[in-house]
Amino acid sequence: MAKTNPTQTWLRWLWPPALLCVAATLLPVLYLGVRSFEHGLPTQDLFSPQTAGLLLRSVGLAVTTALLAVAVSTLCALGTSVFAVSGKRMLHVLCVAPLAIPSYVGAATYIAALSPRGPLAQLLQPLGIRVSSPSGFWACVVVLVVFNLPLAYLPIRAALLRTDRSVYEAALLLGKSRLQALWVAAVLPARSAMVSGGVLVGLYALSEFGSVSLLRYDAFPRVIYLQFQSAFDRTQASLNALLLVLCLVVVVVVSEVMQRRLPPVHAERTRPLVLAPSRVQQLAVAALVVVVGVLVLLPVVALLFWLKAHDGSNLDWVWPAVRASLTTGVMGTLLATVFGVPLAVLLHRGQGRWHTFLVRFVDVGFGMPGLIIALGLTFFALRTAPALYQTWGMLALAYGVLYLSLSVSSIRGVLARLPPSQEEAARTLGKTPATAFARVTLPQLKVGVVGGALLVWISCMKELSATLLLIPAGEHTLATRLWAFTDEAMFADAAVPALLLIGIAALGVVVVHKTESSS
Amino acid sequence: MPTCKRTALVATTLAALFALACSDKSSTPDGASSSTPKAEAAQELTVYSGRKEALVGSLLQDFEKKHNVKLKVRYGKTAELTALLLEEGKASPAALFLAQDAGALGALEQKGALQKLDDDVLNLVPAMYRSPKGTWVGVTGRARTLVYNTAKMKAEDVPSSVFDLTDPKWKGRLGWAPSNGSFQAFVTGMRVLVGEEKTQAWLEGVKKNEPKVYPKNTPIVRAAADGDIDVGLVNHYYLYRFLKDDPKFPAKNAYTKAGDPGSLVNVSGVGILASAQPAQQKLAKELAQFMLGKDAQAHFAKNTFEYPLVDGVQGPAGLPALKDRQPPKLDLASLHDLQGTLKLLQKVGALP
Amino acid sequence: MTQTASTPALRAEGLQKSFDGNVVVDDVSFTLQRGEIFALLGPSGCGKSTTLRMLAGLETPDEGRILLGDDVVNDDHTVVPPEQRHIGLVFQQYALFPHLDVTANVAFGVDDKSVAVDMVQRVGLQHRADAAIHDLSGGEQQRVALARALAPKPSVVLLDEPFANLDASLRQQVQAEVRSVLQQVQATALVVTHDQQEALAMADRVGVMWQGRLLQVATPQELYHQPASPEVAAMVGAGSFLPATCAAEGAGDPTVVTTTLGALAVSGGVHGGTEGRAFVRPHQVKLGAAGQKATVTSCRFFGDHHVVTVDVDGVQVVAHTSPADGASEGDEVFVDVVGEVVFFADGGSLP
């Protein structure tokens, strides 16, 4: 007679909030289903071969971006964790800084900075070097990698910090070179973090529209936007959007399968690995600092440059926008954090594959374009709870659907590192499984909760598409102000909300960093 | 313990921020008047604007003051707002829609989302700049133009007809924005004027010249000045905004000959939504009339460099007068067939 | 946990557990008396850790019963969860709570902080009472783990390879300290270990496990002198196996077997067959001037004795000699056995 494992039964209390999140994420998908099939089954000609080609291009962009982001993050993370190298702190700051900068701001500043009449061109002209505005596939990859670097860098670095020195030394003694030993001892155990970070970057790249279109690369989300905009018959648009959702689901499923194949790495007390770098490695880190520094700081420099042209007038909008940005940020963060913990626990402790994939469905929300989420929630709100329509609450719900995945990923990373023997010890000391979780595991999740909350908060502040459609009429966030100004080439004005956004986000990063280092 | 104190500090800060954010009176509380049309409708009006706040914001504020009305404006992208309006249907809180182009208004009209306007509003603009069914009216004129790089080209070099752009000599020198609403309206106009086949031939001809693709008009103008392209298809007024900041901006507008599809004058316009309640309709009508009033029209001419459509208002400085422009004889209402244009653009591969 | 005076503190009856079709614990039964220290000794993978986890309630046996005192905590109908068993567990990796300091860790299972303070003192950590866990040495962490497990005064405390992570030089001292603390609080303890020296030093009784089965439960002396099977013999103390035969029933001295080292006396007499192996302890093997001819194959110095391996007609025999009597490889020596040996008839598995 099989008896249930006594430690798992309290997990069933986590299912109601988890299912709530899954249901919320399903709403836009259901909306797409309704719009796709309301005129009957779709006919052949709604899917053109061009669509398929574009989908492949988007997938190619996403995969390349994810792989490159993971590779660069790993290199940088090695530099800031395992190597005792000067410039380490600066590199770390630079790798986290892109969190604060919206990718569309980044793309716009790159284009402006590298324009043939821009400052860089003027500088390099005497040298005979011609510059041209960035565009195309690789420009998109660079922009997406740079401005999503923290999504991969932070979890990978956290994993690398737990490298076991003994494994490294054992490999050396078995005749491996330093690099091979590093690979075995540091990089391989960090694979789980690489997968989770890479997935986030990939999902974002699959759905990103703003900066990609600025760089003039034809990608799938653009199809969807265009077709929704034709506004007539949304069947085709919805079908294509469903196709995108299917891709997102595939990405999530593949990543979860990969995660489960990887051996678990429990960090019992190990001696941390700190290596003295060779001359070459020192130079490499210095090079990284320079390259990343330029790429990350360029937008800020460009914005400051534009700010100079500002005459100081027309600033009444600042405080209401700041307040709105903070409000949206806080609401979204609260939602994502409160629901993030039960989801992460279920993911980590859940038995049964179907449960896992069901919970990971919320990651699809991260990859869905804001327009679709807004239209989907509108559809359901108007039919079931019209009083909720275009209120702060509904906007918070949209943010929750969009960014919950960031919080879950961060918390799950921390959960995976906690040895299960701690909760078992608590149980032998008389605590029920739920109490053991609350008093032993939960306090240690703080780092993951705070880290995830920061990511969510900054993302909420930067969000544009869903905000434009769902925010209470008359309200603006810093992001919507920024968009309003950049669209009309009012760069001096645009610099203000952009710098404010970056400033507030940077402040958040600093506060969290201080919290982390003190714990 | 230090960590507990720090957590408490962070939590308190967040709570304080949240309280601060919710405390201001002008924030909309959940479930309140903005979404229930009946409450206090006489004093409030919800407007969706595809036109930027920087352009129309001051006008709307003037209206608020003069008529003692509170305007709740949602600024956004015309196309997305159109999608939203269609999704909202009868439950839309908006009473008036300010659209960047006639195509969006036409789409709404097709779906019955607009109400018929009163004649005294319609008659403010010439017939060709309003809907024949009377559901929307143009507010400003936006002429299609060819922007060119003054360093590389002289005015004579620019073709006088868009059909000349299929000449192979333009290979690699052109720029366009197929996903932009104004361009799509232009193509729709060409379809109406010369027919589907000729339009397709033109599109394919231009595509052979490998034009650079941009998401919007502003980047095309910038690219022309940068020398990335020699000639770009845009709306007329973007150039002037650049010139305002930099009088030495190395680009100029060239206009195609009279009657050419490239001489199309599109409009931005307003429509009153069918979902508007009777009390709001009155206010919406007043707002529409305001936008067509002398002050507002002069504002557009001066600040956005768009053509006023109402008689007796001076056009933007330094531009040929609208009357002299002789745009092609075209019923702008027919520009609503965006669907057909998109299909054509997809067919030739200009759009995905 | 109710206990009458004579009730054993813990009874395990017929415990059975399989994972993925592999039998990990096979019909294990034993009893712990109150106040005794019991060791479960066996190599890795023999099922001892699984048995310990089943006693704690962290795993559920497929079959069998577990009683703590008079209460049934595990049988076909009932499974009492760990938090209600009132059992203490010292984990191999200590599983201390990093977010709590030493005293808070120890106080985790009790309501009254003074009990925790007292316990911290008992293990000698009063000067580190406020220290963070990561600031402690391995030995100090182990003491915290022990104090934490003992603070709620459990009826039984289980220790999972408690000294595995300690330096060898510390081990003996720590073993003595732990045994002292356990006796001070009159705890009933079960220690799981693969280290025979640990088992013999700590425990009042030892159960030897091998491939899921409990081979013998006895005092350390009994195990050493009267191992019930070759596996037990090999696991408790060192020794050599010699092929041996004895006379058939009624055909000679039933207390003697014939080996390559000559006729040897068997303790407990011969039974179970005429062919088998004799088990000889190293200290019984004397190298000298009389006995069987043998060649030295190796000699290693261990400080207080040499370990000399000799080859006697193809059979390897291990001997311990005094520190002064070394030997070199290839030397010719004479080997003799003193004392009684243990005989195992064929049919058992080879070590």
Sequence-ordered strand ranges (E) for chain B: 44-49, 70-75, 96-99, 136-149, 174-176, 212-213, 231-235, 251-254, 265-272, 307-308
**Shortest Cα–Cα distance, A408 to chain C (Å):** 22
Nearest CA in chain C to A447: C99
List the single residue in A116, A226, A474 with the smallest CB-CB distance to B351.
A226
Contact B274, B95 (CB under 8 A): no
Nearest CA in chain B to A329: B18
CA distance linking residue C5 with residue A281, whole number of Å: 70
pLDDT at B16 (0 to 100): 64
Report CB contact under 8 Å: A51, B84: no
Average the pLDDT over A97-125 and give the result. Answer: 80
% of chain B beyond a pLDDT of 70? 85
Whole-angstrom CA distances from A28 to A15, A210, A473, C89 are 21, 21, 22, 50
Least confidently predicted of A117-131, A188-202, C80-94, C202-216: A117-131
CA distance linking residue A65 with residue A72, whole number of Å: 10
pLDDT of A167-226, one tens digit each? 888 888 888 888 888 898 899 989 999 999 999 999 999 888 778 877 878 788 877 777
B28 has pLDDT over 60: no
C261 has pLDDT over 90: no
B40 has pLDDT over 50: no
pLDDT at C38 (0 to 100): 95
List the single residue in B14, B181, B349 with the smallest CB-CB distance to A330.
B14
Which residue type sits at C288? G
pLDDT at B29 (0 to 100): 39
Sequence-ordered strand ranges (E) for A249-390: none
Q: Which two tokens stand for residue B66?
A: 């003069």
Please, is A179 exposed, middle or buried when counting C-beta atoms within 10 Å of its C-beta (0-12, 13-18, 19+)? exposed
Neighbour tally for B60: CB within 10 Å:
21
Strand C156-160, strand C189-193: pairing: parallel
Neighbour tally for C252: CB within 10 Å:
12
Regarding predicted confidence, which is higher, B312 or A74? A74
pLDDT of C270-322, one tens digit each? 777 778 888 999 988 888 888 888 889 999 998 888 899 988 888 888 988 88
Which residue type sits at C157? V
A232 has pLDDT over 70: no
Q: Angle B344-B346-B352 (CA atoms, 0-180°, nearest 5)?
A: 160
Please, is B150 exposed, middle or buried when counting C-beta atoms within 10 Å of its C-beta (0-12, 13-18, 19+)? middle
Report CB contact under 8 Å: B27, A468: no
A-chain residues within 8 Å CB-CB of C57?
6, 427-428
A50 has pLDDT over 80: no
Mean pLDDT of chain B: 82
Average the pLDDT over A465-491 and give the result. Answer: 83
pLDDT of C130-180, one tens digit each? 999 988 988 899 899 999 999 998 989 999 998 887 777 778 888 888 888
A-chain residues within 8 Å CB-CB of B228?
116, 132-133
Q: Which two tokens stand for residue C318?
A: 């291990």
pTM of the prediction? Answer: 0.82
Nearest CA in chain A to B176: A216
pLDDT at B39 (0 to 100): 44
First and final C-alpha spacing in chain B: 59
Q: What is the CA radius of gyration of chain A?
A: 24
Regarding predicted confidence, which is higher, C25 or A225? C25
Mutation target vs B (from A47, A226, A372, A447; most B CBs, 10 A cutoff): A226
pLDDT at B34 (0 to 100): 41
Kindly report the backbone phi and psi dihedral angles of residue C315, in degrees, each rounded to the nearest multiple of 5, phi listed first. -105, 130
pLDDT of A265-295, one tens digit each? 766 656 778 888 888 888 888 888 898 888 9
B27 has pLDDT over 70: no
B-chain residues within 8 Å CB-CB of A474?
26, 28, 34, 71-74
**Shortest Cα–Cα distance, B31 to chain A (Å):** 5
Question: A63 pLDDT band (50/70/90 cuts)?
Answer: very high
Report CB contact under 8 Å: A428, C97: no
Q: Of chain B residues 270-329, which have a CB less than 8 A from chain A?
A: none
A53 has pLDDT over 70: yes
Question: B35 pLDDT band (50/70/90 cuts)?
Answer: very low
pLDDT at A266 (0 to 100): 66
pLDDT of A398-426, one tens digit each? 999 999 999 999 999 889 888 889 999 99
Q: Which two tokens stand for residue A119?
A: 């400052």
Contact B273, B95 (CB under 8 A): yes
Nearest CA in chain C to A440: C97
Q: Which two tokens stand for residue A218?
A: 């034809």
C79 reaches A (C-beta below 8 A): yes
pLDDT at B278 (0 to 100): 85
Kindly report the backbone phi and psi dihedral angles of residue A138, in degrees, each rounded to the nearest multiple of 5, phi listed first. -70, -30
Mutation target vs A (from B226, B229, B303; most A CBs, 10 A cutoff): B226
C165 reaches A (C-beta below 8 A): no
Mean pLDDT of chain A: 85
- What chain B holds in terms of domains, given with CATH numbers, is 41-140+267-320 (3.40.190.10), 142-265+337-348 (3.40.190.10)
**Shortest Cα–Cα distance, B41 to chain A (Å):** 15
**Shortest Cα–Cα distance, A314 to chain C (Å):** 51
**Shortest Cα–Cα distance, B177 to chain A (Å):** 10
Tell which residue, A519, A257, A506, A507, has the closest CA to residue A414.
A519
In this prediction the ipTM stands at: 0.81
CA distance linking residue C40 with residue C50, whole number of Å: 11
Average the pLDDT over A367-391 and give the result. Answer: 90
Report CB contact under 8 Å: B30, A392: yes
pLDDT at A366 (0 to 100): 92
pLDDT of C294-305, one tens digit each? 889 999 998 888
Least confidently predicted of A454-468, C2-16, C326-340: C2-16
pLDDT of B62-72, one tens digit each? 999 988 899 99
% of chain A beyond a pLDDT of 70? 93
List the beta bridge partners of residue C333.
Answer: C294
Question: B30 pLDDT band (50/70/90 cuts)?
Answer: very low
Mean pLDDT of chain C: 87
B316 has pLDDT over 90: no
Q: Which two tokens stand for residue A196?
A: 């989770």
Sequence-ordered strand ranges (E) for B171-258: 174-176, 212-213, 231-235, 251-254
Q: Of chain B residues 203-222, which have a CB less than 8 A from chain A?
A: 212-216, 218-219, 222
pLDDT at A441 (0 to 100): 93
A-chain residues within 8 Å CB-CB of B82?
229, 231
B56 has pLDDT over 60: yes
% of chain C beyond a pLDDT of 70? 96
pLDDT of A69-78, one tens digit each? 999 999 999 9
Q: Which region, left, alpha or beta, applies to residue C334 given φ > 0 means left and ψ of -120 to 50 means alpha? A: beta
- What chain C holds in terms of domains, given with CATH numbers, is 10-86+154-230 (3.40.50.300), 238-345 (2.40.50.140)
C181 has pLDDT over 70: yes
Neighbour tally for C38: CB within 10 Å:
25
